[in-house]
Amino acid sequence: MVKGKVVLTFFDTQPQTVDVTGATLDVIRKATQYITANGGTSIGCGLQRMLDSNIEVDGIAIVSDGGDNTAPYYHEVYKRYSDAFKQVPTYFYQLVGDQPHLIDFMARAGFDLQVFDLQRSGVDLYSLPNLVSTMRTNRYSLADEVMETKLLKLGDVYKASIKAVAA
């Protein structure tokens, strides 16, 4: 689904990064099988690693309960990252767990955060991939894509339905 380099960064109090560019799901599962959540979450530590390594990204997806409990906090690092590179869209896929401090912190700091609440519906093999397919590096590019889609004319739809009925 993703074009270009893909890096997974797991965050607790220290980030763990795995380059999964072009990897299959089986390879990703094997590479990440021993990574677990232990509490003391610092969502910002993953982005801090990217900033320290001078890695520029085009978008950020966070899958978490949003409990940004330990410094560096995501909204603070996001400000520094944006100043160093550019402001990129952040997509937050919220799971069940701790209080979602990330949402409040980002709102108070004045940063956009696209929130997808997966607490009630859960995550399955279809919901998350379908949501991820709507991610764009520009906030309005999905709307632009929809608006650029040519509409079918009634005659074209009618011709296609006649062919289907005749077959």
Total tally of structural domains belonging to the chain: 1
The pLDDT assigned to 105 comes to: 97
For residue 6, count CB atoms less than 10 angstroms from its CB and return exposed for 0-12, middle for 13-18, buried for 19 or more: middle
Question: What pLDDT, on a 0 to 100 scale, did the predictor assign at position 11?
Answer: 84
Judged on CB neighbours under 10 Å (0-12, 13-18, 19+), 57 is: middle
Q: Let me know if residue 150 belongs to a domain.
A: no
Domain of 53 in residue numbering reads as 7-140
Any domain includes 146: no
Cis link prior to 129 (omega < 30° from 0)? no
What pLDDT is stored for residue 4 in this prediction?
A: 75
Can you say whether the dihedral through the CA atoms of 34, 39, 40, 46 is positive or negative?
positive
Is 158 a domain residue?
A: no
Is 159 a domain residue? no
Query: Looking at residue 54, what is its pLDDT?
Result: 93
Q: Rounded to whole angstroms, how far apart are CA atoms 118 and 92?
A: 10
Establish if 71 belongs to a structural domain. Answer: yes
Compute CA distances 3 → 47, 132, 164, whole Å: 20, 13, 36
79 HSE (CA, 13 A, CB side): 11
- Which 3 state secondary structure label does DSSP give 24? coil
What is the DSSP-derived secondary structure letter of residue 139?
Answer: T
- Tell me what pLDDT residue 117 has: 85
Within-domain flag for 162: no
Q: Is residue 160 part of a domain?
A: no
Q: Report if residue 132 sits inside a domain.
A: yes
Consecutive 10-residue averages of pLDDT for the chain (167 residues): 76 84 87 80 92 90 90 96 94 88 96 87 62 58 65 71 57
